[in-house]
Copies of this chain bind each other. A is one copy, B any other.
Amino acid sequence: MKPTNKNSWRYRLHEIIYEADTPMGKLFDIILLILILLSVVIVMLESVRSIDLEYHKLFYVIEWIITIFFSIEYIARIITVKKPKNYIFSFYGIIDLLSTIPLYLSFILVGSNYLLTVRALRLLRVFRILKITRYIGEGNKLRKALVESRAKIFIFIFAVLIVAIIAGTLMYLIEGEESGFNSIPVSVYWCIVTLTTVGFGDIAPITPAGQFLATIIMILGYGVIAVPTGIVSAQYVRKASDDYVHVNTQSCSNCGEPKHRDDAKFCHKCGEELHPENNPEA
C-alpha cells in the first residue's frame, strides 16, 4: 500500500519525517537534531564518574525517553516509506537501528549503552536538514577525490605496513624488553606511531643503535607523509580545474575586453565577432 493519497496520514507523516519543506517537517528535523546531540552528550557525560554519580537517575530517564522516541521514529520511517527494505538496509537505516538497540541490550550486556555514541553518525543528517546542497556538493567532491585515489592510498598503506613490520622486528631485536619493545607486535605498533609522526613516547628507544634506526624511520616517515598529500593535492587540483577554462590575450576590437576563451568567436561582453587571425597576440 503506497502512500500516494496526499491526504492519508501516511503521506502526511512521510512529509514530516523525510522532508524539511513544511513547517512541521522543519520542526521535526530540528527536534531530532537536538535530541541526537543531547543523547550523545549524555552518553559521554555518563562515563565521567563524578558527573554520573550526581545525575545518574536524570541521565537514565532522558536516555530512555530519547531511545523510545527514536524507536517510534524508526518504526514510523519504515511504515511511511515506499520501499521499507531500501530504507532498512541503507546507511541511515542501519545507523537508525543501531541508535536504539544498545540501550535495550544494556539489560543483558553491561556497558553496551556506551555504544549509543554511534548516534553521532546520525548527526550527518544535519546536512540534509540545513539544505546545504553546496556543502554536500563539496562532500561529494571530497568523496570522489578519495575514491579516485583509492588505488594509490591502498598501495601507500600496504607499503607503510610492510616497512613497519620489517623495521619493528629490527627495533625488537636491537632494543629488547628494557625500553618497552616487549614483542614484535608492540614494536610494529611503535613503528606506526613513529612513521605517522604521532610519537606518544610511552615507548622510546634508549640504545644508540635503536635511536639511529629510529632516526631513519622518522626521516622516512617525514618524506612519506608527502605522498598521500601529493596524491590528494594533485587530485584536487585536477578536480578544481574542471570549473575553469583557459583564456588568451586577444582583446575585442569593439569594446577592448581582454581575456577571451581560446575557442571564443564572439566577445562575451558586447557580442562583437572576434577575429583571432587579425590579432597579433593571439
Is A221's beta carbon under 8 Å from chain B?
A: yes
Binding site for B on A (CB under 8 A): 40, 43-49, 111, 114-115, 117-118, 120-121, 123-124, 132, 134-135, 138-139, 142, 145, 151-158, 160, 162, 165-166, 168-169, 172-173, 182-186, 188-189, 192-202, 204, 206, 208, 211-212, 214-215, 218-219, 221-223, 225-241, 243-247, 259-261, 263-273, 277
Task: Tell which of B165, B227, B270 touches A232, judged by Cβ atoms closer than 8 Å.
Answer: B227
The complex places the Cα of A276 from the Cα of B229 at a distance, in Å, of 38
Among A227, A230, A263, A277, chain B packs the most CB atoms within 10 A around the CB of A230
Among A234, A237, A277, chain B packs the most CB atoms within 10 A around the CB of A234
The complex places the Cα of A259 from the Cα of B243 at a distance, in Å, of 8
The complex places the Cα of A192 from the Cα of B245 at a distance, in Å, of 39
Task: Tell which of B48, B184, B244, B270 touches A244, judged by Cβ atoms closer than 8 Å.
Answer: B244
A40-B165, A237-B238 provided; 18 other pairs, C-beta below 8 A? Answer: A43-B184, A47-B172, A48-B183, A117-B166, A120-B162, A138-B151, A156-B223, A186-B211, A197-B199, A199-B200, A222-B228, A226-B231, A230-B233, A230-B235, A241-B244, A245-B259, A261-B261, A265-B271
The complex places the Cα of A246 from the Cα of B189 at a distance, in Å, of 43
- The 9 A-B residue pairs with the shortest CB-CB distance, nearest first, are A266-B271, A230-B232, A198-B199, A200-B201, A264-B268, A234-B236, A201-B201, A202-B204, A47-B184
Copies of this protein chain in the complex: 4
The complex places the Cα of A151 from the Cα of B127 at a distance, in Å, of 12
The complex places the Cα of A139 from the Cα of B154 at a distance, in Å, of 10
User: Contact: B270 with A114, CB < 8 Å?
Assistant: no
What B residues does A115 contact at CB under 8 A?
Answer: 169, 173
26 CB contacts below 8 A, A to B, read A44-B184, A44-B188, A48-B183, A111-B173, A118-B166, A120-B162, A142-B155, A145-B230, A186-B211, A189-B212, A197-B197, A198-B198, A198-B221, A202-B204, A226-B231, A229-B232, A230-B232, A230-B236, A233-B236, A237-B237, A244-B247, A245-B259, A260-B268, A261-B261, A265-B270, A267-B271
